[in-house]
Amino acid sequence: MNQTVQEIFDANSGFLRAKDISSRTQWNQLNTMLECGSVVKVKRGLYLMTEPPTDQSVEIANMLPNGVSCMFTAWDYYKLTTNNPFEFHMAIGCKDKVVLPAYPPVKLYYWTDKSYRLGSVEIKEGNHDIKMYDLEKSVCDAVQFRNKIGMDTVTEILRNYIKRKDMDLDRLMKYAGQLRIGNVIETLLTVML
């Protein structure tokens, strides 16, 4: 039995991808909804109900299905920094090509396959899963990009990481070794401990 277009929108927090439509009847329903204004086309193959979802991270996850929340977005989620990002920071594969709408603002990072896949986890937001880097990978990203974000931010992130009860130094050092920043993290942690 085919779902109605409305059921597909409801199941995906107000979003619909063209690949989710399997019948001509569903296409006709979608075209009717577009004409009456209850649905808008966000980009090619992605449609949104006019009442937006409550969380923009769900919207970003639907626009960038291969994107992983990183850098300031991940640090804010884990409460590692007091900097509140004004845009969503998303990592994608270095060969991926995406076109983003003007809103919500997204800063893209094109990472190699090794950096992109390392430490990616799915976090539950409402009834959706959002891809984000785990705590240790997020700390490694801070150290890896220390010259771009500033040492004060790196120091704040490391101090807050050390205070956490769920920190895993073994995993942190394993990730640091794979990203070739093991000596740098070891030096910074030695100074702080």
The candidate with the shortest Cα–Cα distance to 109, out of 70, 136, 146, 143, is 70
Specify the pLDDT at position 3: 75
* Greater model confidence, 21 or 193: 21
Provide the mean pLDDT of the chain. Answer: 86
pLDDT-derived band at 53, boundaries 50, 70, 90: very low
Specify the pLDDT at position 175: 95
Instruction: Give every CB contact of residue 68 below 8 A, 6+ residues apart in sequence.
Output: 90, 91, 92, 116, 120, 131, 132, 133
* Cα atoms in the Cβ-side hemisphere of radius 13 Å centred on 45: 9
Spell out the domain ranges in the chain. Answer: 5-52, 57-192
Angle of helix 169-178 relative to helix 182-192, nearest 10 degrees, comes to: 150
pLDDT higher than threshold 50 for residue 90: yes
Specify the pLDDT at position 2: 64
CA distance 16 to 11: 9
Read off the pLDDT of residues 137-185 as tens digits, 9 standing for 90 and up: 999 999 999 999 999 999 999 999 999 999 999 999 999 999 999 999 9
Specify the pLDDT at position 5: 81
Peptide bond before 85: cis, by omega within 30 degrees of 0? Answer: no
The candidate with the shortest Cα–Cα distance to 141, out of 159, 128, 153, is 153
CA distance 176 to 27: 49
Q: Degrees (nearest 5) of the Cα angle 41, 46, 49?
A: 60
The candidate with the shortest Cα–Cα distance to 174, out of 142, 139, 145, 150, is 139
Specify the pLDDT at position 51: 60
> Which phi and psi (to 5°) does residue 92 adopt?
-135, 165
Using CB atoms within 10 A of its CB, is residue 47 exposed (0-12), middle (13-18) or buried (19+)? buried
Specify the pLDDT at position 163: 93
Strand partners, 122: 131
pLDDT higher than threshold 70 for residue 55: no
